Amino acid sequence: MPADAPTPAPKRARILALANQKGGVGKTTTTINLGTALAATGKRVLIVDNDPQGNASTGLGIGRTERGVGTYELLFGETTVAAAVRGTSIPKLFVVTASADLSGAELELVELERREFRLRDALSSAGADYDYILIDCPPALGLLTLNALAAADSVLVPLQCEFYALEGLSQLIRTIERVKRTFNPSLEIQGVVLTMFDRRNNLSDMVAADVRGFFGEKVYETVIPRNVRVSEAPSHGKPVLLYDLKSAGAQAYIHLAGEVLKRERNRQSVHG
């Protein structure tokens, strides 16, 4: 590079929050497997386990007893991402685990200054080290999820293909709108991903059509099928891409990563 060339702007990670206050819809599964698929394309990816259940940490092979400092300490300014981050069995995929104390954080945060911005502040120092930061949220719209939404550039909403899929979504959308108005004006919805699709079940088709009617193009074309390999993988501490790359679930997450990257490229070409 010539000496007078402008220094390139430091790269800033794109931060995606995986959120839906409904439990068991595939937030953690999508965080782990989308993260793995993005890392497989060469991106540096950080997963932040922001759920006291710690399922993302377990699913990445880091059991409860092996976790040191993690998201709790990040939120309370007691550590940095650089100090808390752990490697995983996947090259370029890193994790900040949910520490045991995280279950108390929701209440303890209430007392703090800048209580919605704790995660955003903590992640600001890590922006140059990663291409993507994925935040796995708990099934609630409390302060942990608000911290994720305040830190994020965009939200990815996993929706399970079941009868009640759309129930409670208006509450999630109202929360996203409120966060946009109050503390994160540029927050957008990256997309909605249909999970646990069962093609033998007509209901899955009906729900998928309903969700597409409601969210239009926000819904990714990729649909994650219900697949037993996906549900087995976490008990081996592995993403399904590592556990059984050929499985329909692993392949679907690879496609999803392609779509997420495509949306990011389109966004860049619009916003420069």
Q: Give, as ranges, the residues between 24 and 53 that touch ligand ATP (CB under 6 A).
A: 24-29, 51, 53
What contacts 135, CB < 8 A, 6 or more positions away?
15, 16, 17, 18, 31, 47, 48, 50, 119, 148, 151, 152
Positions in 178-217 near ligand ATP (CB under 6 A) = 195-196
CA 166, CA 168: separation in Å to the nearest integer?
A: 6
Residues numbered 116 to 155 that lie near ligand ATP (CB under 6 A) are: 139
Distance of closest approach, residue 51 Cβ to Mg ion, in angstroms: 5
95 touches ligand ATP (CB under 6 A): no
Which secondary-structure segment (H or E) carries 270? helix 248-271
The DSSP secondary-structure symbol of 152 reads: -
- Residue 175 contacts which entry, ligand ATP, Mg ion, none (Cβ below 5-8 A, type-dependent): none
Question: What stretch of H or E contains 165?
Answer: none
> Cβ neighbours of residue 174 under 8 Å, at least 6 residues apart?
none
Q: How far is the CB of 103 from Mg ion (least distance, A)?
A: 14
Rg value, the chain, Cα: 18
Q: Candidates 23-31, 75-83, 90-98, 203-211: pick the segment binding Mg ion (CB under 5 A).
A: 23-31
Rounded to a whole number of angstroms, the minimum distance from the CB of residue 132 to ligand ATP is 18
Question: Binding of Mg ion at residue 71 (CB under 5 A)?
Answer: no
Q: Provide, rounded to whole angstroms, the least separation between the CB of residue 85 and Mg ion.
A: 20
Q: Which stretch binds ligand ATP (CB under 6 A): 87-95, 149-157, 165-173, 228-236?
A: 228-236
> x/- contact string, 28-67, with Mg ion (CB under 5 A)?
x--------------------------x------------
Rule CB under 6 A: say whether 67 interacts with ligand ATP.
no
Are the C-beta atoms of residues 19 and 154 closer than 8 Å to each other? Answer: no
Region of 196 on the Ramachandran plot (φ > 0 left; ψ -120 to 50 alpha; else beta) = left
| Residue ranges binding Mg ion (CB under 5 A) | 27-28, 55
